[in-house]
Amino acid sequence: MSDELAGLTALLSVAEKRSFTAAAAELRVTPSAVSQTIRGLEERVGVRLLQRTTRSVGLTEAGARFIARLKPAMEGVREAFESIGELRDRPAGLLRLTLPRLGYELVLAPKLSAFLAAYPDINLDVSIDEALSDIVEQGFDAGIRIGEMVERDMIGVRVTGDLRMAVVGAPSYFAARRKPKHPRDLHAHDCINYRQRTLGVVYRWEFTEDGKDFEIAVNGRMLLNDGALMLDAALDGLGLAYVLESGVREHLAAKRVVRVLDAFCVPFPGLFLYYPSRAHIAPKLQALVEFLKVGRPRSKRR
């Protein structure tokens, strides 16, 4: 294919310049190289394209007809390369992202309008997915996940501050029950369990005591796979919920829920935008990184 392109480029140059020498100067090769390239092209198409004399070079009838079709096609190729160059230098094109609903609500949604206004040539394809997608295999430019879930071979960019969990229950729930003083006291409570959509397993509540992390498999009559529904159930007095602190601040302030076990819920690294480690990052992705980051891009933690 490269031989054909070289031959076509040489043919166009000779046809325009009417000179092997002038074409060679434009292409930065020797006149003999130009002549040999075009001769090879003529052999492949089986038709003489140039009429050569000692004084001039002209097109044969076949050559003229061929050039008439070739010139606009080669112009299209040139424009295609120029458009690629433009995409390389400015933020433009389709940006495909995968992220959980939490990532959309906390990170993308608050800045989405401003980002699209700042970069009118970028289009977003956003896939809401709780699964740990292989962004390379599935053709995504980047993803957003909890920091500890980002693979080590990815570049991770912090896009939220630290997050924190909270154990909450409605005042009506605690009207007939003692508040737990330690996570092990949860075994005596009706807890709203969460089934992870990606693995299908029931999530074990995570706590920290004296710098050591541990998990508790809680008991309860309700098992849900949606964080928003878990909070709704807690608000209705159906049990204790283990939810993000940021999602219950308003309810806590309004005293619709009561928080317990606060001392055992410590902050953890929040959400990170991640993408494959490459030498060159596309301008469209670099624009998103700069727009969302709250820290410097870096390799996977740990």
- 136 and 177 belong to one structural domain: no
pLDDT at residue number 208 = 96
How many structural domains are present in the chain? 3
Tell me the mean pLDDT per 10 residues along the chain, length 302: 73 84 85 86 86 78 86 76 63 91 93 95 91 80 87 88 96 95 96 84 94 95 90 96 94 96 94 82 91 63 34
- 70 and 204 belong to one structural domain: no
- 7 and 62 belong to one structural domain: yes
Whether residue 189 lies inside any domain: the answer is yes
> 283: how many CB neighbours lie within 10 A of its CB?
19
pLDDT at residue number 82 = 60
pTM over 0.85: no
Whether residue 301 lies inside any domain: the answer is no
CA dist 200 and 98 (Å) reads: 20
CA dist 116 and 109 (Å) reads: 11
Whether residue 169 lies inside any domain: the answer is yes
pLDDT at residue number 157 = 93
DSSP lists the bridge partners of residue 155 as 275, 299
- Per-residue tokens: 252: 């806590």
Whether residue 120 lies inside any domain: the answer is yes
Whether residue 297 lies inside any domain: the answer is no
pLDDT at residue number 301 = 36
pLDDT at residue number 86 = 54
- 142 and 284 belong to one structural domain: yes
Whether residue 43 lies inside any domain: the answer is yes
Determine the structural domain holding residue 217 and report its residue range: 165-264
CA dist 74 and 84 (Å) reads: 15
- 117 and 82 belong to one structural domain: no
- Quick one: angle between helices 2-17 and 31-45, nearest 10? 110
Whether residue 206 lies inside any domain: the answer is yes
Whether residue 8 lies inside any domain: the answer is yes
**CATH number of 114's domain:** 3.40.190.10
- 241 and 191 belong to one structural domain: yes
